[in-house]
Amino acid sequence: MNKTKRHEIFTRLREENPNPVTELEYSSAFELLIAVLLSAQATDVSVNKATRNLFPVANTPETMFALGVDGLKNYIKTIGLFNAKAENAIKTCQILIEKHNSEVPKTREELEALPGVGRKTANVVLNTAFRQIAMAVDTHIFRISNRTKIAPGKNVLEVEQKLLKFVPKEFLLDAHHWLILHGRYICTARKPKCDACIIEDLCEFKEKTST
């Protein structure tokens, strides 16, 4: 895919949604960190349902740590893998309190050192909470990057690196959100809604569904 086509793709995505945001509900960097940690192999909808009850009670490292693992489980037991996530969240709270003055760190290395926080979670926090250029490649972004040929790659790291290289600079800060939303609602896995796609004429997907 050439530069002109990529620029037009993101121009259209920006025109349709000038200020894209995550669908996870949060009001602080800590809340976002916990929400993203909980969202692994779970939907944003299910995470939001849980955190609407959790965050009014515990929205700081201290108050969440005070719940303990079992206390936290009561709030997140409707989310997949809640046992492991509760353990990781409480350990993360302890580290934030002891090593980071209860603040969410702003570097990838420090974020990835937190229990349950991988590269994708770190990228979400860096990009969404701290507005740093970072590309969190989830299943949606991986699929779209390969299907459209915006940034094809064999694994998530390769796709991440290609997106950072090929997405025009003016779009880099918000590209992550545009691609996730497009993958979630239009360029879906099984039956992409090509007839409703604003970039359909620019897409290089070779197996487009017939109309």
The binding site for [4Fe-4S] cluster consists of: 187, 194, 197, 203
Long-range contacts of 70-75 (CB under 8 A, 24+ apart): 75/50
Angle at 12 between CA 146 and CA 190, to 5 degrees: 40
Q: Which of 70, 138, 191, 201 is catalytic?
A: 138
Q: Are 119 and 125 in contact (CB under 8 A)?
A: no
Binding site feature residues: 187, 194, 197, 203
Q: Compute CA distances 177 → 19, 33, 41, 124, 133, whole Å.
A: 9, 16, 18, 10, 12
**Phi, psi angle pair for 97, to nearest 5°:** -70, -45
Q: Which two tokens stand for residue 159?
A: 């796709």
The answer to whether residue 120 is catalytic is yes
The answer to whether residue 99 is catalytic is no
Separation between Cα atoms, residue 48 and residue 34, nearest integer Å: 11
Which helix (H) or strand (E) segment holds residue 52: the answer is: helix 44-54
Q: Which of 3, 49, 73, 120 is catalytic?
A: 120
Q: Which two tokens stand for residue 88?
A: 């990781």
- For residue 206, give every residue at least 6 positions away whose Cβ sits within 8 Å of its Cβ, in sequence order, or none: none
Angle at 161 between CA 156 and CA 163, to 5 degrees: 95
Residues carrying an active site annotation: 120, 138
